[in-house]
Amino acid sequence: MAESNLSPGADAVRRYLIGLQASITGAIAEIDGTPFLSDAWQKEPGETLQGQGITKILEGGPVFERAGCGFSQVRGPKLPPSATQHRPELAGAPFEAMGVSLVFHPRNPFVPTVHMNVRMLAAKGKAGKEVCWFGGGMDLTPFYGFEEDAVHFHATCKEALTSFGDDKYPRFKTWCDEYFYLKHRSEQRGVGGIFFDDFSELGFDDSLAMLKSVGDSFLKAYLPIVERRKNTVYGERERAFQLYRRGRYVEFNLVWDRGTHFGLQSGGRTESILLSMPPMVSWSYQNVPAPGTPEAALYSQFLVRKDWV
């Protein structure tokens, strides 16, 4: 599947995505001092979904307890419902999807968890016309909130989008707040960032340029925060709160996330989709922090919709 059937521009996107995965995992491996395991996989002939990918994962490092970054390129006979909520005319159309998706779970509770995804979808509609769109974004999930981290992350996201129109950051920031929301908890997943989907309004070339700008900004947005927080001293209390809060990440991804459902519904590769799961998580009943604590401040000052820049 080096050649794409559905989109003539797909090869350039593929090369970009593989390079992005390499540069991000390279930087993370360096900061951690641990190499990523690299696992190239291919769907068996005869499976509903055809395709291949490269899963890169670092587990048990001193800085990152679990950091997964996957590239995948899959092709299927029928777009699943989760992908066509906003494009009903393409329901059941043959499709091709490729993207890079990552979730990094740091060990130190003062370093936030982060997620980034850039992807392209191409589908052939009933009239035989090919439709191609992009999606992606990044968002930050702290356990202990620091305003300067949230501001830096958002400012970097905003800068990545500036040359594509002033409307993009505010739209995608709001979209992110709406998307990464745990309805069953009435709670934001974290301090947000940017999120977009079904994006093709700038035409193929400029929409792709925007996607690349987002992907290329990820390390600028996240690494300074890791460097700043990774040596902060913590104890059992902070560790326990981190493990508890990671449960929200699991709840969001398994209950609400469209990408996870798309993957699991369409017969994607489970171990690659669930790279996003934390290495260690806990649940406990009615775990509500005492007023005035930093844990309480996370809920009241950070897990809320706010203009950070």
Q: State the catalytic residues.
A: 115
Whole-angstrom distance, CA of residue 113 vs CA of residue 117: 14
Q: Which of 286, 290, 291, 307 binds its own copies (CB under 8 A)?
A: 286
Q: Is 55 in the site for its own copies (CB under 8 A)?
A: yes
Handedness of CA 292, 293, 294, 300 (dihedral sign): negative
Whole-angstrom distance, CA of residue 304 vs CA of residue 147: 13
The interface region with its own copies, picked from 10-18, 72-80, 209-217, 276-284 by CB under 8 A, is: 276-284
Q: Which of 12, 37, 296, 304 binds its own copies (CB under 8 A)?
A: 37
Whole-angstrom distance, CA of residue 229 vs CA of residue 232: 5
Closest approach, Cβ 291 to its own copies, in A, equals 19
Q: Is 278 in the site for its own copies (CB under 8 A)?
A: yes
- Per CB under 8 A, which of residues 147..166 are in contact with its own copies? none
Whole-angstrom distance, CA of residue 129 vs CA of residue 230: 50
Q: Which of 52, 200, 213, 282 binds its own copies (CB under 8 A)?
A: 282
Q: Which of 6, 28, 54, 57 binds its own copies (CB under 8 A)?
A: 57
The interface region with its own copies, picked from 106-114, 142-150, 203-211, 263-271 by CB under 8 A, is: 263-271
Per the CB < 8 A criterion, the answer to whether 142 and 298 are in contact is: yes
> Among candidates 97, 27, 71, which has minimal Cα distance to 275?
71
Q: Is 281 in the site for its own copies (CB under 8 A)?
A: yes
Q: Structure tokens of 272?
A: 């690659």
**Helix axes of 147-162 and 168-179: crossing angle, nearest 10 degrees:** 130
**Helix axes of 147-162 and 203-229: crossing angle, nearest 10 degrees:** 160
> Among candidates 99, 23, 68, which has minimal Cα distance to 271?
68
Q: Which of 47, 85, 166, 185 binds its own copies (CB under 8 A)?
A: 185
The interface region with its own copies, picked from 1-9, 119-127, 178-186, 198-206 by CB under 8 A, is: 178-186
Binding site for its own copies (CB under 8 A): 37, 39, 55, 57, 59, 66, 68, 183-185, 243, 247, 250-251, 254-255, 264, 270-271, 273-275, 277-286
